[in-house]
A = this chain, B = another copy of it.
Amino acid sequence: MTLECIGQKAKEAEPILRVMTREEKDRVLLKAAELLVSEQEKILASNEKDMEAGQERGMKPGLLDRLKLTEDRIAGMAEGLRQIADLPDPVGEVMKDWVPENGLHIRQVRVPLGVIGIIYEARPNVTADAFGLCFKTGNPVVLRGGSDAIHSNQAITEVLQQALIACGCPESAIQLLTDTSRETAAAFMKLNRYIDVLIPRGSAGLIATVVNNSTIPVIETGSGNCHIYVDETADLEMAVNIVYNAKTQRIGVCNACESLVVNRKVKNAFLPLLAKKLQEKQVELRGDEAAREAVPMTAATEEDWGTEYLDYILSVKTVDNVEEAIAHINRYNTGHSEAIITENQEHAEKFLKEVDAAAVYVNASTRFTDGFEFGFGAEIGISTQKLHARGPMGLVALTSYKYEITGHGQVRG
């Protein structure tokens, strides 16, 4: 099918999804969950094809693991859809309701965003997850997954379409680009006539490609060069626990801590304690001169301050005060998650107000920047841009609004 045709079919589904009730949408999600499990043989067989091809091409073990589906993982995908069905539907919510001087009755009402394009890598679970979130909010979705997962994605998409058809819904509520060439991806990113929003999910490289090539509005997600600042008034034991958690609990995630900023007054007391704890996970420290006086470590270069390691490495910067910490963080961060460990209320307030990031923490781990932890019940990604949605994006981030206005013959004077 040509892109033009895929775009048209998505647009045809749009008005139908737009007016579906919550009950109608939930029925599809539950049916899809049921079918993912009952049709799992087919999905697993398709995944096996992708796995074999991956192994032949010498895909790395980490990537192969992300690609692999098992009964448990399919059960997890089904459970994800059931959880989305349980969430309230934001569409139709009246956000505001007022009568300005002209006497018109204006209601600001939540509506679906439109047709959503998702570009992602070889993670077949994203296929079901992205469909669930987009469908719950009344948005047709066009998926462009990695070519390594094409058979898995096709099998999952077919099962989801079966659920749509069984419930009398247009199957084009979900479509998958089966042509995974770069040319088609490039054309997809310029399909403004049919796609309202593009959300890339994956590595920094993928996201940069989409931002640089798309003419469709993009929601940028992902990269996190997150800092923790240990103030001179910090509870040092708390600081050790939080840095250890934020650095080592999961190293490959965007809300992991990549850089420690430490106040000069406590560096000699704090850094040896921290270094000892981080030794448990063999974390490599790279510090400035002042940090190296407190604990032996590699010298940090300018490049370290701006690097998201996604590895057992932590950079260490020494500062004289909270102002210098804020300036350093605002210079090198990626607008994701930043924390201060302090017992000083004034420093806490200053840090909260002046650090420019989606999530700013006092005395807690940066790892909490997550749709589930925030209580959103679901997450389509974590936005690092300021337009539309910032930070963890739940269902509401997949909606827009319209103004419904009722008059009695008013004309403008």
Contact = CB atoms under 8 A, between A and B. Distances in A.
B356 A15 contact: yes
Given A98-B375, A111-B356, 13 more contacts: A15-B354, A18-B353, A18-B354, A19-B353, A192-B211, A217-B387, A352-B406, A363-B407, A364-B408, A364-B409, A367-B412, A387-B388, A390-B400
10 contacts: A15-B356, A104-B364, A104-B373, A106-B374, A113-B386, A242-B409, A360-B402, A363-B408, A368-B410, A390-B402
Interface of A: 14-15, 18-19, 98, 100-102, 104, 106, 111, 113-114, 192, 196-197, 211-212, 215, 217-220, 235, 238, 241-242, 244-246, 249, 330, 348, 352-354, 356-365, 367-369, 373-375, 385-388, 390-391, 400-412
Nearest to A102: B373
A373 B411 CA distance: 11
By secondary structure, the A interface counts as mixed
Give the number of copies in the complex: 2
B359 A405 contact: yes
A87 B250 CA distance: 46
Contacts of A387: 113, 196-197, 217, 219, 387-388, 400
B242 A411 contact: yes
Contacts of A388: 387-388
Given A100-B375, A402-B391, A412-B367, A212 B211 contact: no
A229 B196 CA distance: 26
